[in-house]
Amino acid sequence: MNDERIWDVVIVGGGIVGAATLYKLQTRFPRFRILLLEKERALADHQTGNNSGVIHSGIYYKPGSYKARNCVEGRRELVAFARQHGVKHDICGKLIVATHEEELPRLEKIFTTGQANGIEDMRKVSAAEIREIEPYCTGIAGVRVGCTGIIDFRGATNKMAELALAQQPESRVALQEEFLGIDSNGPIAQVRSSKSTYRARFAIFCGGLQSDRLARADGAVVRERIVGFRGDYYELSAQGRHKVKHLIYPVPDPRFPFLGVHFTRMTDGSIECGPNAVFTFKREGYGKLDFDLNDTVDALTYGGTWKLFLRNMGYGINEYRRAFSKRLFLRTLQRLIPSLTMEDIEPGRAGVRAMLLGTDGNMVDDFRIERRGNRIHVLNAPSPAATAALAIGSQITAMATEEWSLEQA
């Protein structure tokens, strides 16, 4: 079926970045007819809806980077948005805890980075203060970041889409409709989906785990490749839940691109522990044994994947061992809360993180958004993209306004 209307903008991808882009673009141009395509039954069904639910402060990211600027600006805007529109959230604060002397220089660097990024409500804490804040947590020093919080990211995503559609009744969110390709025909592009073909003046791709493939389907040359890493969570059981009050993080190891296993109080009152980080054989696979042939071949025929594996062989093996051993996972958790027992934790859910991996085996660290003609591609938006989504949506809207001369469109 062909849709003969001409849409002003088609957005591909219904995670929080896609929804925030819809919201920001519709607010800036209320007369525009905008279509958002999402292949799943609901918005926020992959990275957005399966992450840790943390509103990140921006304390870890290189000063001046897109991550740092967008996270800090996006966090403040997200919290204001949640308050204004009744999205469930709590600015509960978090502790970053050092448990060994060798971690103290890294903890100091994190604090200095936070200062450079303008993080508010941040202070160093002693071992005694750690105990006052989190009585069951053991550490020798820490940093308390009061502006960190938790949020219902699915709820935030749906609210952004709802508010956008309320501004323009002719705009639409199309669920269970997979993007298949795009063809140019002069100034009007033909966007092909699993249900229809749409005519559009502009297109924006916010594909998350599929972002590299969407770009290549648009004819873009992308040397890097998305490689997925599954993160498994445990939950504190009813008997163990009292041992964590807020959010507790370790000092991250700079040799590895993840923040380490941590404790997160969710908006429903549960306490999650995790995640680990293991290579996944299916980009959108949340089970330990999930497998997709195309995804596996795509990752394992890419030289960058093997360079990453060889560089982090010991770390990767340990992560896989923990993925299948509750006892090993518990030992990691006990570094921060020594009194945890096997009975205090029970298996939880899992999420998958999209990491844009360079040919040299290094992960592309910063957000990456590129324009190609009358299309914009969000090629790399790992954590803290959910926190930064409204700022990213503003950046995309500004880029589109400037590059596409939307004021005159």
| Domain 2-48+154-224+366-408: which CATH number of 3.20.20.70, 3.40.228.10, 3.30.200.20, 3.50.50.60 | 3.50.50.60
C-alpha–C-alpha distance, residues 278 and 382, integer Å: 16
C-alpha–C-alpha distance, residues 310 and 246, integer Å: 36
Distance (Å) of CA 161 to CA 3, 70, 147, 155, 221: 21, 20, 26, 10, 31
**Which helix H or strand E contains 21, and what residues bound it?**
helix 16-28
Distance (Å) of CA 162 to CA 22, 133, 174, 189, 202: 10, 38, 13, 26, 22
C-alpha–C-alpha distance, residues 405 and 279, integer Å: 42
Structural tokens at position 10: 């088609």
Q: Is 363 helix (H, G, I), strand (E, B) or coil?
A: strand
Q: Which residues contact 408 (CB under 8 A, 6 or more apart)?
A: none
For the chain, residues classed under CATH 3.30.9.10 are 226-363
For the chain, residues classed under CATH 3.50.50.60 are 2-48+154-224+366-408
**What pTM did the predictor assign?**
0.95
| Residue whose tokens read 């559609």 | 165
C-alpha–C-alpha distance, residues 229 and 226, integer Å: 10
- Residue 253 DSSP one-character state: P
Half-sphere exposure of residue 259, counting CA atoms within 13 Å on the CB side? 26
The one-letter code for the residue type at 114 is G
pLDDT number for residue 186: 76
Determine whether 31 is exposed, middle or buried from the number of CB atoms within 10 Å of its CB (0-12, 13-18, 19+).
exposed
Query: Cα 38 to the chain's mean position, in Å?
Result: 17
pLDDT tens track of the chain, all 409 residues? 676 789 999 999 999 999 999 999 999 999 999 999 999 999 999 999 999 899 999 999 999 999 999 999 999 999 999 999 999 999 999 999 999 999 999 999 999 999 999 999 999 999 999 999 999 999 999 999 999 999 999 999 999 999 999 999 999 999 999 999 999 877 899 999 999 999 999 999 999 999 999 999 998 889 999 999 999 999 999 999 999 999 999 999 877 667 688 999 999 999 999 898 899 999 999 999 999 999 999 999 999 999 999 988 887 888 888 888 999 999 999 999 999 999 999 999 999 998 899 999 999 989 999 998 899 999 999 999 999 999 999 999 999 998 777 655 5
Distance (Å) of CA 265 to CA 33, 55, 87, 114: 39, 12, 16, 22
Q: Does domain 226-363 have CATH number 3.90.245.10?
A: no
C-alpha–C-alpha distance, residues 155 and 31, integer Å: 26
User: 82-106: b or e for each residue (b if 16 or more CB lie within 10 Å)?
Assistant: beeeebebebbbbbbbbbeeebeee
pLDDT number for residue 406: 64
C-alpha–C-alpha distance, residues 299 and 278, integer Å: 13
Structural tokens at position 341: 């027992």
| Residue whose tokens read 């085996």 | 361
